[in-house]
Amino acid sequence: MAVQVSTNLRSTIAKQRYVTASASQWELSTDEQESFAALQSCWNNLEFDKYYGGTQLSNYRVRRYSDFDYVPTVGELRPHNHLAYYQSKYQNSYAGDQNRHFGDVLPETYENKFFQALVEYDFKQFPVPEKYLNHNWICHIHMIRIVVGSNQTTSVTPEGIHSDGYPFAAVHLMTKKDIAGGESRVYTLDGDQLASLTFEKPLDSLWFEDRFMKHYVTPISNKEEVEAHRDILAISFSLPDSPYITDV
């Protein structure tokens, strides 16, 4: 399985360090659509994020997180044992300087053919020199759902405008149910806004070189009488002992 977008993302990223794509730009076969639907269902089995403080008790976040070994020339994902997710206060003023433990990404996710193809596709969009393609990269996977209670508004990125420190990062919308808002924005390191995109349909996406810019998502709201949610898959890459380490 090989997923792709109808435009040349790699050349754009090489020029400006970021690019966006809408759901309509993805070219998916019937098999890929079915595999993607199976992947979306994995967000129904995430674990409570105790480090996220919604503005109301009815607002909360569930998630999973794991790191994987990934050799681009091979394409195989090998999960690491459980580990904490750590960011410094410099990178995350809201929840930094602590080891955050989340549920691990499950085999039903990382063995999904669409998921594997998406990881491969995302990596290929970044300007990595050929000499590093047979090295053992780390693929960082964040699965996140924010649930918003009836007639509530809550923060998506309580840490504000920030960088997570990854060399290369991609963010994909999985599902958006009864949610308004949530505009994704990218900025220069000095805080000048470069671009924005409100994820509306599954696979609306953003790719960016995280160490060279900052990002932010505006609050999301639910005007309905039942719970609403927004599901995100974040895929990032780093290479230890190289120019492509993660800034923590």
Q: Is 53 helix (H, G, I), strand (E, B) or coil?
A: coil
Q: What is the pLDDT of residue 52?
A: 81
Distance, in Å, from the CA atom of 173 to the CA atom of 112, rounded to the nearest integer, reads 17
- Residue 160: left (phi > 0), alpha (psi -120 to 50), or beta? left
Q: What is the pLDDT of residue 5?
A: 84
> Which domains does the chain carry?
9-238 (2.60.120.620)
Distance, in Å, from the CA atom of 214 to the CA atom of 47, rounded to the nearest integer, reads 27
Distance, in Å, from the CA atom of 116 to the CA atom of 208, rounded to the nearest integer, reads 20
Residues in the chain, pLDDT under 50: none
Q: What is the pLDDT of residue 51?
A: 77
- 194-241 tens-digit pLDDT: 999 999 999 999 999 999 999 999 999 998 888 999 999 999 999 999
* Residue 2: CB atoms within 10 Å: 9
Q: Is 208 helix (H, G, I), strand (E, B) or coil?
A: strand
